[in-house]
Amino acid sequence: MPQVQGTIEGVLGHPGANGRTRYAVSIGGQEYNTWKPELARLAQAQQGQMVTANVTIKPSQDGQFMNYYFDGLADGAAAQIPGQIPMAGGTPPGVPQGTTEQLPVQPGIPMASPSSGPRPVDWAREARIVKQSSMATAFNFIGHLFDGAGPEAVPEAEAAAMELAKRLYVQVLGGPQTLDDEIVEGLVAAPPEPSGDEPESW
């Protein structure tokens, strides 16, 4: 089993929508996850201490990133910490039928605040995103129209792309409808054919 050495910098619980809590244990600047409260308590008890931790590092199913898991401390102290893992299925003894058991909060482990529904819309951020997207779309489109036109057509292509980007931006954000069919037709018109005398430099 792989081991890492470092200082336990903190433990933070992240409640999940499925009722399970993921605990993030920070060791030497790297975050390792566990779903076992007893391992989280063990790490919390050793916070600020230099430890050798058993970890598992494996790629995600799609291979795009690595998963880091905290499996306990190398000296076997994990086995000495009592604790129960809540088991799925059935109602625990002492809980009346038809009620939901409150999940226990692990003492001393700070919990991240759960996300409470959708975030409020940041219109300035949305406007920046729409502006970037409009500009990328316009320059890509106009770039294809002016493909092969040569360097002398760059100022005209840039002006056409900026005009189209402005119009797309207004359309997406729901402003006044200012698109003029004549202007759009002018933008879509075929670029001038390069004469045979000029070499194609790019």
Better-predicted residue by pLDDT, 111 or 35: 35
Better-predicted residue by pLDDT, 73 or 123: 73
Render pLDDT for 30-81 as a digit per residue (tens, 0 to 9): 999 999 999 999 999 899 999 999 999 998 888 888 899 999 998 754 444 4
Q: Is the pLDDT of residue 184 over 60?
A: no
Better-predicted residue by pLDDT, 145 or 80: 145
- Give how far Cα 44 sits from Cα of 56, 82, 89, 124, 156, Å: 19, 14, 29, 40, 64
pLDDT of residue 113: 64
Q: Is the pLDDT of residue 104 over 60?
A: no
Q: Is the pLDDT of residue 194 over 60?
A: no
pLDDT of residue 126: 84
* Fold type of domain 3-80: OB fold (Dihydrolipoamide Acetyltransferase, E2P) (2.40.50)
Domain layout of the chain by residue ranges: 3-80, 123-188
